[in-house]
Amino acid sequence: MKTALVTGATAGIGEATVRTLIASGWRCVATGRRKERLDALVDELGADKVHAACFDVRDTEAMDAAIAALPEEFAGIDLLVNNAGLAQGLSPAQEADLADWQTMIDTNVTAMVVLTRKLLPTLIERKGAIIAIGSVAGSYIYPGGNVYAGSKAFANHFTLALRADLHGTGVRVTSIEPGMVETEFTLVRTGSQNASDDLYRGADPMTGQDIADTIKWIAELPPHLNINRIELMPVSQDFAGFRVAREHH
C-alpha cells in the first residue's frame, strides 16, 4: 500500500484528494490547520488509512515535529501533493496590503519549498512522485492577481525545475495548473460568501473532485510515464484577456 502526504487537506481539492486516493487503496497523511476537520476525516475513513498531521505549513518547527512524529506505517511517503495555498485580497498592487502579500509568499512559496526539500530524500529512496497544484494564474495574468499570480508562476516553474534536478532518480514530477475551481478559495480570498457565490454562479466551474480525479490518474500511471504539466479549465472559462486602455477625447 502506497502512502501520500496531502497538504491543505481540510477542504476543497486537498480533502477530495484524500478521499479519492483512499478509495483507490492508498494511505494518506492529511495536513492542515483545522484539527476538527482532520479528525473528522480520520473518524470517517479510518485511522489505518488516514493520519492527521495538524500544523500551519508556514511554521517550520511544527512541520518538522509533525514529520518526525509520523507513525512507521505512514512515514514512507510515496507521493507528495503540494496543494496548500491561498490568495488574499484583490486590490491592485499600488493599494494592496503588504501583510496579505507576505502571507501568500510564506504559504504558496516558502512553505512549499521547505516541505518539498524535507521529503525529497524519502521520495528519491522510494522512487515516488511530486504533484503540485499551481494555477493558470501563473501563466495568464489578471487585474488584482499580482503576488498570487507571481507565487503560482513560482509554483509552476519550481515544479518543472524539480523535474530537471530529479533526472535519473525515477521520481515523477507534475505541475497541475487549474483555472476556476469552486472551493473555499474565494471565500478565503475575500472573506465574503456572497462574493464567492457571485464568482461561481452560472459558470459551471470545476470542482475539487475534478482535480482530485486528475491527481489520482497521474499518481497511478505506470512508473515510466511522466506528465510534466497539465492545464485545466472549465469549458466556460478561457484565457483570452488582452485589454487596451484608450484616451477619451
Catalytic residue among 140, 142, 148, 200: 148
Using alpha carbons only, give the angle 127, 130, 131 rounded to the nearest 5 degrees: 145
C-alpha cell recorded at residue 40: 473528522
**Residue found under cell 498531521:** 53
Please indicate whether residue 142 is annotated as part of the active site. Answer: no
Single-letter residue type at 67: I
Catalytic residues: 148
